[in-house]
Amino acid sequence: MIIRWCLNTLLSLLLFSFAMSVSFASASSAQPILTNNQAIRIIDSALKIQPLFWQGFSVPYSIERASRHPDASMLEVLFNHGLLTRSKETKVVEIANSNRKRIALNYRYDFRDQQTGALFQSQGGFYYGHGRLKNILKLSKPYLIDGDYYAEAYIQWYVADLQDWVDAPAFDTERLLRRSLESTQKPFEKRVFLQHNGDSWGFWKGSPAAL
């Protein structure tokens, strides 16, 4: 009787341990919940900390003072807003299809210092604003890829903190900047992804490798 009781007790403990391990595994692998409000907060926060840059030309830039080229007008605007310095320079240039030369009176636009120039090169242009979420058009249910949960959102977004120089007529031909000015009323659209790290949801740059 005692041996039978011991065997029954041991069997009960084993069954209980197995049931608990199955229950724990099921709970740990359960699909995480993602609400629309959660997605809004995560995406908007991510857009706000991603600065936007415009690079229409390389700097330093020398151009004739009397030039009517669109770049001349844009450079002057950036100079007037304190983003570039400007100095006068004189160059001797060859006349095309001729042995003659002429004097060119130029403006040379450059950065205030080497640090500013290095920053321009690293960030890829002039800062003109950052994104903000306007609306989530579609939010997928979480799905599992290689052990991690992801969700996909198709969003509308606009540009906030637009810099004053963007609105200058000289930049009317720059479609990116013009669209940015209109983006509050005519928002951009794109697809973004969220990832669950096992604890919480966060913004995922790019797309999951398996997609």
The model carries a pTM of 0.78
Q: Give per-residue pLDDT as tens, 194-208.
A: 999 889 999 998 777
Q: What pLDDT does residue 1 have?
A: 53
**What pLDDT is attached to residue 124?**
83
pLDDT higher than threshold 70 for residue 24: no
Residue-wise pLDDT for 69-121, tens only, equals 999 999 999 999 999 999 999 988 888 887 888 898 999 999 988 888 888 88
CA distance 192 to 133: 11
